[in-house]
């Protein structure tokens, strides 16, 4: 798959997820995005952490909505009014609205995260348009340094501990932080020097990696962009609208064409080889 096609797909999924507060569409986008993520994630990447983060973000969004919005007709329980801000009725409507918010957040995170989980960050950087190529090289180099900084932080902490360092006060932490930062700066300087020595900064730059664009990439990009375009158009003309469960929860309306747009985001599952 081409990173640019994936970028287009990710952009389209984000657009649809954020274009409406209707939970049906959001759930469909989440479903497609999750599918793409699970099927196409790079070998060796773990998505447990990501899913956990999404779950936490969802629960937090749900809790905030439930605890602070006291509108809606069907009251589940009452929090005593004596408790400031939280006091008041907790309603079915607020729970539904909280869940809707959580769905939107989850769909948006998954659609965005697919970028870094399906392709290497470096492939993405390479896919940047030509004018950004130099910043891209710098960014890629910075990415290369990150694991080294983590390793050196552990090494330095161990070394100082063996020299008798014991963190008792905040004032003790610079004994670790200072050498970690200094070492990182020195590493960056060395790397900068070696890049300079290899001619970095010349004006007439050519490119080594040309990612191939296959018909499947056209299909994915076409489906995704068409889906997003049509969905936004439906939103603008009012066929798709925002949906709120207040004052009384109702079944969200579904437009067939808009639902098809959401399903079209599953195009990578059919077009790209697994």
Query: Which helix (H) or strand (E) segment is 76 a member of?
Result: strand 75-79
* Least CB distance to other proteins at residue 211 (A): 12
* Least CB distance to other proteins at residue 26 (A): 35
Of the pair 71, 211, the CB lying nearest other proteins is at 211
Q: Calculate the dihedral angle through the C-alpha atoms of 32, 27, 227, 39, rounding to the nearest 10 degrees.
A: -10
Of the pair 212, 242, the CB lying nearest other proteins is at 212
What is the distance of C-alpha 241 from the center of its chain? 25
Interface with other proteins (CB under 8 A), residue from 51, 86, 115, 195 = 195
Of 17-25, 110-118, 180-188, 244-252: span binding other proteins (CB under 8 A): 180-188
Interface with other proteins (CB under 8 A), residue from 67, 115, 191, 232 = 191
From the list 10, 15, 109, the residue with the least C-alpha distance to 60 is 109
165 binds other proteins (CB under 8 A): yes
3-class SS at 79? strand
Instruction: Kindly state the tokens that stand for 179.
Output: 């050498």
Dist. CA 80–CA 142, nearest whole Å: 53
Interface ranges with other proteins (CB under 8 A): 120, 122, 137, 140-141, 143-144, 147-148, 152, 155-156, 158-166, 174-175, 178-179, 182-183, 186-187, 190-202, 204-210
């Amino acid at each position: 798959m081409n990173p640019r096609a994936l970028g287009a797909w990710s952009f389209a999924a984000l657009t649809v997820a954020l274009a409406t507060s209707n939970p049906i569409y959001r759930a469909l986008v989440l479903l497609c995005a999750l599918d793409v993520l699970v099927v196409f994630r790079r070998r060796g990447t773990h998505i447990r952490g990501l899913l956990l983060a999404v779950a936490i973000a969802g629960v937090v969004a749900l809790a905030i909505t439930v605890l602070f919005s006291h509108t809606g007709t069907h009251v589940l329980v009452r929090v005593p009014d004596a408790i400031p801000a939280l006091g008041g009725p907790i309603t079915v409507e607020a729970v539904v609205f909280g869940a809707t918010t959580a769905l939107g957040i989850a769909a948006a995170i998954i659609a965005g995260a697919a970028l870094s989980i399906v392709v290497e960050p470096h492939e993405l950087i390479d896919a940047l348009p030509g004018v950004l190529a130099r910043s891209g090289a710098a960014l890629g180099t910075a990415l290369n340094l990150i694991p080294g900084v983590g390793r050196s932080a552990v090494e330095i902490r161990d070394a100082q501990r063996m020299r008798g360092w014991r963190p008792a006060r905040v004032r003790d932490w610079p004994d670790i932080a200072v050498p970690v930062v200094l070492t990182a700066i020195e590493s960056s300087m060395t790397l900068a020097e070696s890049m300079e020595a290899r001619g970095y900064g010349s004006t007439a730059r050519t490119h080594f990696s040309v990612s191939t664009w296959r018909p499947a990439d056209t299909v994915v990009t076409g489906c995704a962009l068409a889906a997003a375009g049509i969905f936004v158009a439906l939103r603008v003309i009012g066929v798709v609208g925002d949906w709120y469960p207040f004052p009384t929860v109702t079944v969200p309306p579904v437009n067939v064409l808009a639902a098809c747009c959401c399903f079209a985001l599953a195009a990578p599952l059919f077009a790209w080889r697994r």
